[in-house]
Structures are given as structure tokens and as C-alpha cells.
Structure 1
Amino acid sequence: MNTPDTDPRFRLMLVDDHPMMRRGIRQLLELEDDFLIVGEANNGEEALALLETLQPQLILLDNNMPLLNGIETLKRLRQIGYSGKVLLFTVSDAEKDVRDALRFGADGYLLKDMEPEKLIQQVRQALLGELVISPGLTRVLAQALREPQAANQVELTEREQQVLRMIAGGNSNKMIGRKLGITEGTVKVHVKNLLHKLGLRSRVEAAVWAMSHEQA
């Protein structure tokens, strides 16, 4: 019998206050051989209570829920040290929701009007360490993460630009250091400097900044 330590499938948890929505997502994801739905929750409070028992690697999280909404649940998850992937999966494309989700450590922000096949693809990409965003949110992201200085006034060194592109590609500091032939500590210095120059507060914001300006 497989255990969390031996089962090769990715462990997913669904958090949504609409049972029909959860059932549909579950049926869709369970068609994939490498996904295992370990549990469901009706709201954020339930999700937090089940976290230790279920040990999910990725949480698909609705935002508009009773008791504890998605953004607040995300904040609590990061505060207690949950290091797995968290994807907001919601109907809201409000700038504040997108901005807050990314600033509080979401690994992606997806809209519920997306095609089923695209959801599967985005979940896989997130599990591999990529930041996933619904394509229709590019303009919202650019507005949400509007930097204090205009983009053409930000002067990043060539190395900082390389590091920024690699962050946007989902690479860890260790992987960036390995690819560039520099130490992880040096990478951290570059990350700190580029965040300061861009007026951003996290790697996720930096990744989104890079993506939105690439597509601008």
C-alpha cells in the first residue's frame, strides 16, 4: 500500500465552498495518473485543520468562501510554514485580489472560466516550480505591480537581468547559481538588489513583473 512517502503521485487538496465545483474539479484531475486528490475542504478553516493529516503538495484554493476566504487562508498557510504550492482558483479578476495573492505567497492565480485542459497544464507547471497566471490577467498584473519608477528608468545590471529572467522561469537560488556558475549567496545578493531597484517585495512579484513587461 502506498504512503505519502512512497506514492509517486502528486498530492492535491481542493478548497471550495461549492460541492458541485469541487466534484467537477476532482473528477477532472483524477483522470490524470500522476494526480492524487487527498482531500477536500469547504473553507479555509477546514483546510488548515486538515493540513497536517493530508500533507498536500498543492492546494487549489477558491477565494470567496465563508469563515476564511482564500487570501486569508493563504496568509495563514504561509504564516504556519506551509511550503507547498498554493493556487488561487477563483472568478475574481480584481486587481487587489491578484496583488494580495501574489504578495502573500501564491504560486499562481487562475480564473475559473479557463478550459479544463488548461487547468491540468497549469497545475502541472506549478508543481514543477513555475508561476502560473491566467493569460487574461496580464493587464491586471501590470497594473497591480506598477513600480514606483517607470520600467525604462529601472537600471538593472546584466547579471541582475539574467537572475530576474531565471526567477521568472521558476528557478530556485541554488539552480540559478549552478547555471550561472556563482554561489547561492551571490544569487541572494542579486535578488535583494533587483527587488530594491524594482520596488518589489518578493520573488513572486519579481517573476510577475518580468512576465508582464515581457508581454507589454
Structure 2
Amino acid sequence: MSTIVYTAASPAKLLLVDDHPMLRRGMSDLLSLEGDVKVVGEASDGKQALDFLQNNAVDLVILDHNMPVLTGIETLKEIKARHIKVKTLLFTVSDSGNDVQEALKLGVDGYLLKDMEPDLIIDDIRKILRGELVISPNLASILAQTLRTPSASDIAGNLTIRELEVIQMIAKGLSNKMIANKLDIAESTVKVHVKHILNKTGLRTRVDAAVWTVNNLSK
């Protein structure tokens, strides 16, 4: 998916989905102070959100998890099943490693907890719009506990210098295309590196690789 380009003259369009009106109002007020994003719709549950997305173009959907009718995870599944091209952020109080892992497997672009500072929320929303994957820092260790991964020394020792560069970029949420541009190599070559990384380390997915790297190579 191509990186979204947004400016104050052409702000990114956001949809807020939460069953608490006060939280939607607070988020809407917070985002209204920023010139490069604009709330174009609100919904109190996943079904309303899907109905809105059926008829309106949106750049980012900000989803609560614990909602009536459809939860945030269930809404993510429907967005994927319907092939709706939109970035998604799960903004929730749930710090369950299983919830985080399931959301990431569904292709969520961000998973943030509601106790974050407002300025950090805005910064992370911008990162998502630029094509980065964002996760609340204190969730990385929780998610790591749900994954069975090899030891740090075993993984690092099996990887080449180039593969270590690639896995670091995966951890930052960069796509294969973005990694290729940064390393000045073909995207197909990046795919080969990713395949070798997973085969060598025994990690199953890019998500596993990203979580392992955050906890072992990014300190």
C-alpha cells in the first residue's frame, strides 16, 4: 500500500469509533487543533463504522475494542474481509497480549492504550499515516510473553549484517518497499531477506520478528 501524503491544505480524513460519546468528543476536540488531520465521521459501534466506510473515503479509522454489536477486533476482520483500503488504529484500554497479537495478524497499523499523553497520540497517528506501525511501548514486553521465540544470541548469530539491517527496519514498521528504498535494493531482494530471516530464526511472521527485535536488539 502506498504511503499517504497529507498536508494542512489536504488533511487526512479520520473516523472515530467508540461507544463512549465523551471519549469521541474529547478525541474530536483534540484532533480539531491539528491542521493536517480532520475528523469526518463518528460511530458508536463497528456496524455503524462499516456502514460509514461503505459510502465515505477515509484515511484512518480509530477503533475502540470493547464495543457493542461488533468489537474492535471483529470490525478489523470485517474491514479486511470487505477489502476496504483504510489504515486502522486500535485505541483501547486492553493490554492483553492476545488482543495485540490478533490485531497485528489482522493487519492493524497501530495499537495504542488510552492512558497515553495526548501529544504522543497525535505523533503516533501521524506515524501511522506515514506508513509506520505503532504500538504502545509498554505493550511490547506483554506481547513478547505470548510468543515463543529463540534466544537473542541464537537469532543474532544466524543473521548476516544485511539481514540484521532488514529486521531492524521491520521492527520500525517499514514495508518491503520502504526497506528497499532505504537500502537501495530491489523489493524482491527484500522479500528474499525476510524469507531467510524467518527460516534462520524459526520466527513465524514479520510480527514475531518485529516484537523480538524491539525486545532484544533495540535497547
TM-score by length of 1: 0.88
- Report whether the alignment pairs 1:157 with 2:157: no
Structure 2 partner of 1:38: 40
Asked if the contact 2:97/2:139 (under 8 Å) is kept, the reply is: no
Shift of the alpha carbon at 1:70?
0.5
Paired residues, what number? 210
Residues 215 and 181 from structure 1, CA distance in 2 versus in 1: closer, same or farther, beyond 3 angstroms?
closer
Choose the corresponding residue for 1:142, options 129, 141, 144.
Answer: 144
3-state SS in 1 of match to 2:68: coil
Asked if the contact 1:86/1:106 (under 8 Å) is kept, the reply is: yes
Shift of the alpha carbon at 1:91?
0.6
Choose the corresponding residue for 1:171, options 170, 174, 179.
Answer: 174
3-state SS in 2 of match to 1:105: coil
CA displacement 1:13-45 (0-9 Å, x = unmatched): 111111111111111111101111111111111
The aligned amino acid for 1:183 is: A
Shift of the alpha carbon at 1:84?
2.4
The aligned amino acid for 2:206 is: R
Asked if the contact 2:133/2:174 (under 8 Å) is kept, the reply is: no
**What CA distance in whole angstroms lies between the structure 2 residues aligned with 1:52 and 1:201?**
34
- Report whether the alignment pairs 1:59 with 2:61: yes
Structure 2 partner of 1:113: 115
Choose the corresponding residue for 2:51, options 49, 52, 76.
Answer: 49
CA displacement 1:22-73 (0-9 Å, x = unmatched): 1111111111011111111111111111113221111111000111101111
State, as a whole percentage, how many aligned pairs show the same letter.
Answer: 54
| Worse overlay, 49-58 or 138-147 | 138-147
Structure 2 partner of 1:69: 71
Choose the corresponding residue for 1:184, options 150, 163, 187.
Answer: 187
The aligned amino acid for 1:103 is: K
Shift of the alpha carbon at 1:201?
4.6
Structure 1 partner of 2:210: 207
Structure 2: state its 5+ residue gaps: 1-8
Shift of the alpha carbon at 1:199?
4.3
Structure 1: state its 5+ residue gaps: 1-6
Q: Give the alignment's Cα RMSD to 1 decimal.
A: 2.0
Asked if the contact 1:95/1:141 (under 8 Å) is kept, the reply is: yes
Structure 2 partner of 1:4: none
**What CA distance in whole angstroms lies between the structure 2 residues aligned with 1:67 and 1:48?**
12
Choose the corresponding residue for 2:23, options 16, 21, 36.
Answer: 21
| Worse overlay, 180-189 or 12-21 | 180-189
3-state SS in 1 of match to 2:19: coil
Asked if the contact 1:142/1:213 (under 8 Å) is kept, the reply is: no
Residues 157 and 82 from structure 1, CA distance in 2 versus in 1: closer, same or farther, beyond 3 angstroms?
farther
Asked if the contact 1:38/1:54 (under 8 Å) is kept, the reply is: no
Asked if the contact 1:131/1:204 (under 8 Å) is kept, the reply is: no
The aligned amino acid for 1:86 is: T
**What CA distance in whole angstroms lies between the structure 2 residues aligned with 1:193 and 1:156?**
9
**What CA distance in whole angstroms lies between the structure 2 residues aligned with 1:107 and 1:167?**
13
The aligned amino acid for 2:114 is: K
Shift of the alpha carbon at 1:214?
3.0
